[in-house]
Structure formats: structure tokens, C-alpha cells
Structure 1
Amino acid sequence: MISLRALVSLELDGVVHAPGAVLELPDGQEARAAELQRYGYAAEAPAEPVRTRRRRSSD
């Protein structure tokens, strides 16, 4: 899967993605992803941040 973040309101394959939404293209559509990035419609989606666990203070 190729993950992209929509920079504008974008319709792909009949689905409308709002700006900021993460969209996924199937493998094999690298050229389509590169074209969306080249025209400024989408950017590479950042990796999911690693969540750290909060430690509870022992009072």
C-alpha cells in the first residue's frame, strides 16, 4: 500500500478525500502517487507516531 495525505479536496476512484485525510493506493500505482505529489494534490503520509506509555507517579 502507498499512503498519501491529501493536500486539497481530492476525488479518487469515486471517493472524495478532504484535505488532511490519509488515502491509500494499492501497490503498483507508484506512478499515480508520484503524479499526485508532483501536481501538489497529495504528499507522502507521515509514519504513525510511536505512542509512549505514561508512567504513573507513585504517591
Structure 2
Amino acid sequence: MTIVLKARVQLLLDGTVYEPGQWITLPEEQAARARELLAYGLVEEAPAKPVRRRRS
């Protein structure tokens, strides 16, 4: 599973530069790192996909 974030500022992570508005994908093992980036306001969480109801 992965964690998807959106850069709010220019970031250098693991040798890759992410520009504001660009999507960042981190492995689940880096959840603590993702929380830190969120806490500092450097990224925002990806919106959850809406759940579609099945027609019967």
C-alpha cells in the first residue's frame, strides 16, 4: 500500500525534486515521514475517492 501526498512547496525527497502541486507517492513504511511532512505544512493529503453506490 502507498501514501499519496500533494506538495505545497518545492521539496527534495530521496533525490527527487517535487514542485508545488505535484503528487508524491511514499511506501506505507514511511508513514511517520508522511505525518512529519503534513505537520510542517509542506504537503497535503490526497482527497479520498468518493464511494460509488451500485445500482440494483
Tell me the TM-score range normalised by the shorter chain. Answer: 0.7 to 0.9
Higher CA-based Rg: 1
1:35 alignment counterpart: 36
Q: CA RMSD in A?
A: 1.6
Which structure is higher in strand share? 2
Amino acid at match of 1:23: I
Deviation at 1:48, TM superposition (A): 5.4
Which structure is higher in helix share? 2
Query: What runs of 5+ residues in structure 2 fail to find an aligned partner?
Result: 51-56
Q: Residues 11-50 of structure 1 correspond to what in structure 2 (within 5 A)?
A: 11-47=12-48
TM-score (normalised: structure 2): 0.80
Aligned length: 50
